[in-house]
Structure 1
Amino acid sequence: MNQEIFSHIPCGQTLPLNNIHAVSVSMPSLQDVIDYEEQTPEILEKITIAYPRFVMHPYLKTLAKYIKEKYKISDSYEVVLLSSQKAVEVVSSVYFIHNKIEINEPFGVILVQNGTTQLQKVLKFIQHVGYNLSSRLAEDYLYKVGLINKLHEEKLEDKSKAKEILVSSLANAYKQPLENICLNPSGMNAMYCVLKGIKNIQARNGRPILVQLGWLYLDTMNIVNHYFEESKIFYDVTNLDLLEEFLKKDGLKVSTIVTEIPTNPLVQTVDLEKLKTLCDTYNIPLVIDSTFATPYNLDLNPYADIYVESLTKFACGNADVLMGAIILNKNSKISHISYEFFKHADEPYIKDIQRMAYQIKGYEKRVKQIGKNTKELVKYFKTAPFIDEIFYCLQDKYATNYKKLMIDEDSYTGIVSVTFKKEFAKVYDSLAFAKGPSLGTEFTLLMPYTYLAHYDLITSKKGQEFLKQIGLPINLLRISVGTENIEEIKKEFEKIKNL
């Protein structure tokens, strides 16, 4: 990011700055976050671009209006744009939408009747399964028909080589053959495609139960709720005894176990050796969300059957491409049926592939620098008088699990979550780092995790009790550590002493 180190960024500014394809947005005060969650009119005027699965991009709004006029669609219907015709079929089959229109466009369109609750349900479902239309595709389309007069200037890889560069980079990083890599229009779409494939395979074998290990990312849990009648959640990844007892009784009914390594946002690492033994005992495939781990921090190949990575994060490093990947482990018993996992995927838009191919060249170097900064920042936090709790990959009770997986002992996973001994709003508001959703950026990015991910739980007594039960602090600050000079990062946190 081209900004002074560090300066307050006004609410609604894109992160990165001045980038129409940014996937994050500045929310510099805690009140901004609360207003966003409560959807106040004032904040909606400021925040027009944000994470594309949560806030509709202005180019998509313009394109939807154009399509409505082009095809003379009645005002009683809302036009909803999707990444493809395949996406149309998925959404239509879930919500029984029969009013699909015949169009000749490079994307999908469905019509949802206004004045019903169905529109919000459909938009939420698209958010969960990640079949979002690319802002770059919308931009090119609008430019071609004359509705915008210029294209965003950015560095792109050559169109003819971009996909090969991107896929081979991932294959090399994960040490897998090219054919075991599948690109998706978002990380959540990658997770959706995997879980749909698992259901197709395992449900036929009388294995209807999906096990979620740990408090997974919200939309992963939502996908599970949509597609699996039976699911079981074990919130504590540090205690596999409960899972072991469950598997003794129902292990042969379990279709898969899904977990994050390390977990978001508490950065915990399960005992993968014990977990893998349990999976092998009951012939259960293990799906690992490796976004935090990255293929450069941890070696998960002895354990994972399938990886899912949100490339939007560390692989991109600039928060301006929405993309995901499925990586099948060649050593897995299920890798030979890749079509079950890949057939639901959409090909990302070519310009997104070109941008990601350009960004991924710096993936390893970026992760190593972030990892070294993270290690130094943790060391600093351990003696900082204003820090209450630190959650990081080498917390004492998780250190053994994490150390076994480490590729480089000088490099930590680039996420640290902390709580403070001072008033959270004052701390959050005072820091001049970029503040908003997402992670994995070269610029340090802060997020008040529980407020943005689980505001509904914060606002009810029952929800607060549940958060306490699963050990997720309300006033948790998730820090995605950047590549800036570590002394400058520490210097910014020093401000908290004077609050």
Structure 2
Amino acid sequence: MPSQEIGLPIPNIPHAVSVTLPTWEATVGYEEGEDWVVSKMLTGYPRFFIHSVIKKLALKIENKYGRDGERCLIFPSYKVAKRCREFIQSHTELNNLKVRVLQLSTPPPSNEEEKSTIIQSTIGVVFFPISQFPLAKNYWQHSGEGISSRMGEYVLKALFHDGIDSPNNSSNNNNLGAARQELQAQQIQRKSPSISASFRSPSVSAREEVENEFNTFIEQKFGRVLDLKFANEAKIALRRRISGKVDKSHSQKEEMEKARRGKNVSETDVYLFPSGMASIFFSHYALLNISKQPKKSVCFGFPYVDTLNILKKFGPGVHFLGLGDDIALDELEEKLESGEFNIMALFCECPSNPLLKTPNLKRLRKLADKFNFAIVIDETVGNFLNIHVLPYADIVASSLTKVFSGDSNVLAGSIVLNPLSPLYSSLKKFFDNEYEDLFWAEDALWLERNSRDFTERATRIDQTALKVFELLQNSSIISKVYYPYISNSRKYYEEIKTPNGGYGGLMSFLFHNPSHAVSFFNAVNLHKGPSLGTNFTLACPYAILAHYQELDEVAKWEVDRNLIRISIGLENQEELLQILQSSLDIAAASA
């Protein structure tokens, strides 16, 4: 059953991506920084909440290498750490601010046998005055380039012979055999691929279990899939998996046109990143660097919060056309024609999160070709089984954390370069010289395992999502459902939809009475927290969670403060529909 305890990881394992915020009030309390919520947060979404093992590593490094009054953040390379330093120095109000970068490396394996458990890794550590921590944390959050918790755990053990403690509760040890059997059965059957079950005895609370880190043993000892020496093979498999899917055309005509052009995507056009946001960030970074004179970009449509932050805070700035509809497209064309806009790139989501709008990609591509700007498409929400956006993009970015992984236990992203883009040669040269593989070996192993049944899971989620949409659409207390199937922009979605594709597992909705949103959310017996694309259904009050400090501003772009977003999972369809209907009934009966 989904936990309703504040601050527990979702799933209940040490490297979980999401965290439980079970009520509307708890979500507000988290955003307000109220102690009754914040003090219970054992974890959080990794770009916003620095994992405890990374904090522990940072403290060890500060104690050994730091100077008085300094703090540090840790990145997976010296080059990334330098980017963080440049960001701090360019955004601080202090003159002559001293920011140091230290490079540390773990020992390499000394023999062939050690290659299974030891891998040489390098980290870049940025030291800065304590007062600059919020600014440094901004870089961590926006760029998505911080080290992962698994990498932090490995480096902590390798450099300081420290790590996660052994469980000290006897009831946990007594449960070990049963837990192992349950996990093995789950992995074999893959009926619900997430390693999300809480293995607890009646005498041990969920919080004690996490604090004792018993589930660490479940994940590390019994969930390990491959040795570290196979990490490169796992990455090759991932790139091939992505290139094979992303280049699949949705019509015979388009396939023939591709054949005539004679160039398709290969695995060498796919690049892996430590998070989806890192793929957005590096796309922007690459375009800035290949441009003779960097110019502003356009953000077309209301995007996920940090995409807009990247475009605002790195480089010359951004023109924000937040509605992302045909009227906004007319405005874009007029300003391009008049010379008011002279842009480097256009960034958009397909469909957008959380309003599920699909831009007119054909028209955007024509404008890009005419006015010589790049198009970067984030297809995370649609996913490349459902939609084919590559012909309209110079760069396709994805968060592999979401439905591609599904298990909510690894952060990852990808970039696909379009070989037919007029910018391909310039981008390819830049990537060949500047791209670093920062995707941690263990994370790659987990993602490769998780994504093996991506097609089957995505298809099942699409089918259930249509049924959930019908349920919500027919509810008398719901005023609007946001979903590609019902959107005003559906015609543009259909143009890029693959032959067997669906409409994705993400939808948002509003109630006629805002109090019903609170009643519904508090009553619904589902996992509740940030992220999407998980193998379990996941809900959140989206505007409260992502835009609490700017609710009036986002309302201008049709993002209502009472919006609920739901990401459909792999639960039994009838059971999920019953849970939702029951919660709608409770909301309808509330005052």
TM-score of Structure 1 vs Structure 2, range by shorter chain: over 0.9
Does residue 278 in structure 1 map to residue 292 in structure 2?
A: no
Following the alignment from structure 2 to structure 1, what is the Cα–Cα distance between the partners of residues 441 and 494? 38
Residue pair 1:297, 1:413 contacting (<8 A) in 2 also: yes
Does residue 318 in structure 1 map to residue 319 in structure 2?
A: no
Residue pair 1:193, 1:341 contacting (<8 A) in 2 also: no
Residue pair 1:207, 1:253 contacting (<8 A) in 2 also: no
Does residue 431 in structure 1 map to residue 445 in structure 2?
A: no
Report the TM-score when normalising by structure 1.
0.92
Name 2:47's counterpart in structure 1: 53
Of the candidates 532, 539, 549, which is equivalent to residue 446 of structure 1? 539
Q: Could you tell me how far 1:412 is from its partner in structure 2? A: 1.5
Name 2:190's counterpart in structure 1: none
Residue pair 1:84, 1:346 contacting (<8 A) in 2 also: no
Of the candidates 94, 118, 125, which is equivalent to residue 139 of structure 2? 125
Name 1:413's counterpart in structure 2: 504
Following the alignment from structure 1 to structure 2, what is the Cα–Cα distance between the partners of residues 98 and 269? 43
Following the alignment from structure 2 to structure 1, what is the Cα–Cα distance between the partners of residues 283 and 28? 34
Following the alignment from structure 2 to structure 1, what is the Cα–Cα distance between the partners of residues 337 and 436? 35
Name 1:108's counterpart in structure 2: 124
Given the superposition, is the C-alpha separation of residues 341 and 251 from structure 1 closer, same or farther in structure 2, using an over 3 Å criterion? farther
Name 2:480's counterpart in structure 1: 389
Given the superposition, is the C-alpha separation of residues 102 and 394 from structure 1 closer, same or farther in structure 2, using an over 3 Å criterion? closer
Q: Deviations over 1:195-214 (max 9, x none)?
A: 01111222x1x461211101
Q: Deviations over 1:25-70 (max 9, x none)?
A: 0100111111111112232221121111101100011111222233
Name 2:575's counterpart in structure 1: 488
Given the superposition, is the C-alpha separation of residues 244 and 133 from structure 1 closer, same or farther in structure 2, using an over 3 Å criterion? same
Following the alignment from structure 2 to structure 1, what is the Cα–Cα distance between the partners of residues 417 and 48? 28
Name 2:8's counterpart in structure 1: 13
Alignment of 1:60-459 (within 5 A): 60-71=54-65, 73-96=66-89, 97-101=98-102, 103-105=104-106, 106-114=122-130, 116=131, 118-144=132-158, 145-149=161-165, 152-153=219-220, 154-157=223-226, 159=228, 160=230, 161-175=233-247, 176-202=265-291, 204=292, 206=293, 208-239=295-326, 240-250=329-339, 253-337=342-426, 338-341=428-431, 343-408=434-499, 411-422=502-513, 423=515, 424-458=517-551
Q: Could you tell me how far 1:146 is from its partner in structure 2? A: 3.3
Q: Deviations over 1:374-419 (max 9, x none)?
A: 1111112221122111000122521211112111466211111001
Q: Could you tell me how far 1:101 is from its partner in structure 2? A: 3.6
Q: Secondary structure at the match of 1:390?
A: strand
Following the alignment from structure 1 to structure 2, what is the Cα–Cα distance between the partners of residues 14 and 101? 32
Does residue 31 in structure 1 map to residue 25 in structure 2?
A: yes
Moved more, 445-454 or 98-107: 98-107
Residue pair 2:294, 2:344 contacting (<8 A) in 1 also: yes
Following the alignment from structure 2 to structure 1, what is the Cα–Cα distance between the partners of residues 341 and 554? 31
Residue pair 1:392, 1:416 contacting (<8 A) in 2 also: yes
Following the alignment from structure 1 to structure 2, what is the Cα–Cα distance between the partners of residues 488 and 410? 24
Q: Rg larger in 1 or in 2?
A: 2
Q: Could you tell me how far 1:95 is from its partner in structure 2? A: 2.1
Q: Secondary structure at the match of 1:248?
A: helix
Structure 2: runs of 5 or more not aligned: 90-97, 107-121, 167-215, 248-264
In structure 2, give the amino acid aligned to 1:336.
S
Following the alignment from structure 2 to structure 1, what is the Cα–Cα distance between the partners of residues 354 and 323? 13
Provide the identity percentage: 28
Would you identify which runs of 4 or more consecutive aligned residues in structure 1 move more than 6 Å?
Answer: none
Q: Deviations over 1:162-182 (max 9, x none)?
A: 111111111111122111011
Structure 1: runs of 5 or more not aligned: 459-463
Following the alignment from structure 1 to structure 2, what is the Cα–Cα distance between the partners of residues 408 and 371? 14
Q: Could you tell me how far 1:234 is from its partner in structure 2? A: 1.0
Q: Secondary structure at the match of 2:502?
A: coil
Q: Could you tell me how far 1:327 is from its partner in structure 2? A: 0.6
Q: Could you tell me how far 1:447 is from its partner in structure 2? A: 1.4
In structure 2, give the amino acid aligned to 1:404.
E
Q: Secondary structure at the match of 2:492?
A: helix
Residue pair 1:190, 1:345 contacting (<8 A) in 2 also: no
Following the alignment from structure 1 to structure 2, what is the Cα–Cα distance between the partners of residues 209 and 142? 41
Following the alignment from structure 1 to structure 2, what is the Cα–Cα distance between the partners of residues 238 and 147? 50
RMSD: 1.9
Q: How many residues align?
A: 482
Report the TM-score when normalising by structure 2.
0.78
